[in-house]
Structure 1
Amino acid sequence: MYSALDIDLRPGHGFGIFEIGSSLWTLLDTLRRHPNAYPQIDIKYDPDASSITPVIVHIRPHLDLLFSGRHQRLSTICIRKLRDPNPSVTVQYKDTVLSSQTEVLRRVTVSKVFGPTYPIRGSDELRYPGIWFSFDEDGLETHPAGDRLQEVKRIIIFQIGPEGSNTEPSTARDALEEVSECLVMTGELAKAVVKVHEGVTLHFHPLATTAPLHIRLGETTAQDLTLDLGPPLRVHYKDDERMKIHSAVEKNDETGYFYNYFQHGIDFLISESTHTVRKVILHTNVPGSPLFQRYKRCAWEIEGRPEDDEDDTPPRKRFFDRFETISHFLNPRPPPSPRRMVLDRTDEEEHLNLPNSETQLHGFDGIILEVFNSSQVVSVTLF
């Protein structure tokens, strides 16, 4: 499963193929493509708030990967059960093997390799910028706390704060915080600002040096998308006509094709006659929902109208807001009995079994919200 070549420790940055700041979608997609190397994977989250809950990916028996709640970025890596032989794991830092089946990692070794560090009041851990060594795990300790032969039971890797501030307990980074912008995010979508009836503005990392990309309904062409975003991961021709029965105007069901950018969490429906963008679909990648892990999370924001011409901060509602909040934002005076459709995305997936496979479609002027349980919006369709 592991080898010393691909599990090097990089304090503040990662461990082997696991890089701090990587997206949940990217990492799970990588693991899915290597089932023999990573056969046992558990995903844990809070089902009552799965759109904003931190996600833990447990790769048995050695790794716990913590992803931030809002942007689903890898923030903390915990390496545990260093002596478990099923399978065995070798940990190295630069050219030094720290732990293996024949090498026990002890306090004295950590001190020799990493040098002195600040003591932490009330804690027996050895903490350095971007990495902690813990001697606490289930079971009895064979050496008292502080003993130079004390065995390391867990190694924790996390993002380094400003000027290495993680060495001080008073300024230690909260494991549940969002990950700061880092190199691994370069070229990835940071957020998508939606303007109803107009289009969407895409902001990419690094935010300070990358110009926003404007996608306009009825204007942006398929060629524009290819030039600006690269070729889509998939081109899918629209062949589902089931919604046609609800359409009063035949031209609204003009045939077209989809550009699927799974890595950005976005679909574009392209007109077959004009080859311009007709619809934009933004996916939230909510754990437990039918489309979880099919698309990367798109951090969308719906922008309202500014109060006046000098208003530089128009109101917005975001992907983590509850449906009731977004609904009132889009339509402050809803009808007494709002209309909605029920969609079961597993109707054509015979082998997919979910505790709750249904979502509800709520239509507004120029926009459709797809809502999962607990009032979580799993996708936004702009048309």
Structure 2
Amino acid sequence: MFSTLEMDIRPGSGLGMFEIGTSLWNVLDLLRGMQHFFPQVDVKYDPDSPTTPIILHVRPHLDLLFSGHQQRLHTISVKRLRDSHPPLTLTYKKAALSSNEEVLRRVGVSRMFGPTYPGDDLKYPGVAFSFEEDGRGDSLKSPTSQSDDRQQEVKRVIISQKSEEGELRDALDEVTECPVMVGELFRAIVKVHEGVDLDFYPSGSPTIRVLLGSSTAQDLICDLGPPLRTHYKEDDRMTIHSRNGQAEVDTDVDYFYNYQQHGIDFLISGSTHTVKKIVLHSNVPGTPLFQRYKRCPWEIQGRPEDDEDESPPRKRFFERVEEIHHFIAPGEAPPSMILNRTDDEDGLRLPSSTTRLFGYDGIILEATESAQVVAVMLF
């Protein structure tokens, strides 16, 4: 016997535990903790684009659409309202709209939400009610079809952000700033040989600057709070490529501060406790690190043209590795090394398990075979 899933509709804001503007990383983490209600989640995306909108099919009732750049919940679609696995009850302002016993019909929507403009769907600010299961209207339908049928059954409910008066919003637009984003990272400006500038919501908040060789572990905790994870560096396989051909002798073990909620790792010296390396993750679907970190919207900043240049050129996380290469080091591409992050995971097969590491002076790019940059490392 399934427990009833009760979800309240909040036009322009959310549905039940899902809030418009929440990151993909947070939503998937939430779904993992509610497998008794949501045992199967399908992730749909375009494998050739790092900015593809992502759809979570949460069977049987929900489709969650996430924006392509910021990976934030843009639109919630509720369907199969009468499916009893699990039973679904929709409420609005504590009044029941739909349940297994109560069918939601056109007349019920009008009574609860009031009049709206004519059309095949009933559209209100932040919420719409559709009479088509898949959202595609029947092109053969006559103009006098069921638009006046008061008993017409609602098949889907769609919740999205409210538009400003007169504003036309595209389904693939980014989510505008809203309260659920407060305290989250919206931009990381990468400065090679220096460090990273972190900007957070709400807009206008003070920039947090993390400097290589200068910022300390205590600075990170003061500015960013405690990390979600701390672990000590044990993998020294890259030291075989060091200039002196041997590992550095270090009596104090380096350690990582992992801020998965911001998509950033900081490697901290075990002796000086200052930041040695910074790793920023792009959270590209289909790669081994997908969903281990929230997307960090990094931008690599180039040199300003002169002292008065207030907007130096930048390359962003969604640009192809070849374009970023020409930006960092014009000329011949550097040699690359192959990395397979699934080597230690027997039986795991992913579309983009193999990546390449491109090393430059002070920065390393990790990119997929389709030229998507999945991580940037500063040192």
Pairwise same-fold verdict (TM > 0.5): yes
> How far did 1:334 drift?
2.3
Aligned counterpart, 2:172: 176
Aligned residue number for residue 21 of structure 1: 21
Between the aligned partners of 2:249 and 2:324, the Cα distance in structure 1 is: 27
Note the C-alpha offset of 1:251.
Answer: 7.3
Partner Cα separation in structure 2 for residue 222 and residue 320 of structure 1: 30
Residue matched to 1:206: 202
Tell me, yes or no, if structure 1 residue 42 matches structure 2 residue 42. Answer: yes
Give the structure 1 partner of residue 257 of structure 2.
259
Q: Corresponding residue for 2:241?
A: 246
2:295 matches 1:305: no
Equivalences for 1:1-383 in 2 at 5 Å?
3=4, 6-49=6-49, 51-119=50-118, 123-137=119-133, 144-163=146-165, 165=166, 171-208=167-204, 210-249=205-244, 254=250, 255-334=253-332, 338-383=334-379
Query: Which letter does structure 1 place at the counterpart of 2:117?
Result: Y
| More helix as a share of residues | 1
State the distance in 1 between where 2:131 and 2:352 align: 41
Instruction: Give the count of matched residue pairs.
Output: 368
Tell me the SS of whatever aligns to 1:7: strand
8 Å CA contact retained: 2:239, 2:247:
no
2-side partners of 1:173 and 1:224: how far apart? 41
Identity of aligned residues (%): 60
Q: Which runs of 4+ in 1 moved over 6 A?
A: none
Q: Which moved more, 1:26-35 or 1:260-269?
A: 26-35
TM-superposed CA distance for 1:37, in Å, is 2.1
Q: CA deviation at 1:369?
A: 0.1
Counterparts of 1:213 and 1:36, CA distance in 2: 40
Check whether the contact 1:23–1:72 (CA below 8 A) recurs between aligned residues: yes
SS in 1 for 2:358: strand
Structure 2 counterpart SS, 1:327: helix
Contact 1:2–1:90 (CA under 8 A) maintained in structure 2: no
Decide whether aligned partners of structure 1 residues 272 and 135 sit closer, same or farther in structure 2, where only a CA change above 3 A counts: same
CA contact under 8 A between 1:2 and 1:89: conserved in structure 2?
no
2-side partners of 1:253 and 1:108: how far apart?
Answer: 76
Distance 2:81 2:261 in 1: 34
Q: Which amino acid counterpart does residue 47 of structure 1 have in structure 2?
A: P
Distance 1:214 1:356 in 2: 33
Match of 1:168 in 2: none
Alpha-carbon displacement from aligned partner over 1:262-297 (angstroms, at most 9, x marks no partner): 000000000011000000000000000110000000
Please state how far the C-alpha of 1:241 moved relative to its aligned partner: 1.2
1:155 partner SS = strand
Query: Which string of whole-angstrom CA distances, capped at 9 and with x for unpartnered residues, describes residues 39-79 of structure 1?
Result: 01100001111x10000001101000000001000000000
Counterpart Cα distance in 2 of 1:86 and 1:34 = 14
Cα distance, 1:136 vs. partner? 1.4
The separation in 2 between residues aligned to 1:330 and 1:248, in whole angstroms, is 22
Query: What amino acid sits opposite 1:68 in the alignment?
Result: S
CA distance in 2, matches of 1:238, 1:199: 20
What is the SS of the residue equivalent to 1:47?
coil
**Structure 1 SS opposite 2:88:** coil
Alpha-carbon offset, residue 162 of structure 1:
2.0
Matched AA of 1:201 = D
Q: Residue type of the partner of 1:9?
A: I
Distance 2:37 2:131 in 1: 28
Read off the aligned partner of 1:362 and give its amino acid letter: F
| Contact preservation (8 Å) 2:240, 2:247 | no
| Cα distance in structure 1, aligned partners of 2:80 and 2:258 | 40
Check conservation: 2:8, 2:94, Cα contact below 8 A.
no
Partner Cα separation in structure 2 for residue 252 and residue 151 of structure 1: 70
SS at match of 2:364: strand
What is the rounded CA distance, in whole Å, between the counterparts of 2:332 and 2:249 in structure 1?
26
- Decide whether the 8 Å contact of 2:340 with 2:355 is kept in 1: yes
Secondary structure in structure 1 of the residue aligned to 2:308: coil
- RMSD of aligned residue pairs (Cα, Å): 1.8
My pick for the range that moved more, 101-110 or 245-254, is: 245-254
Query: Could you tell me whether the CA contact under 8 Å between 1:89 and 1:100 is conserved in 2?
Result: yes
Equivalents in 1 of 2:71, 2:364: separation in Å? Answer: 24
Q: Contact between 1:68 and 1:74, CA under 8 Å: does it hold in 2?
A: yes
For 2:355 and 2:248, the matched residues in 1 are separated by 23
Task: Provide the rounded CA distance (Å) in 2 between the counterparts of 1:351 and 1:234.
Answer: 27
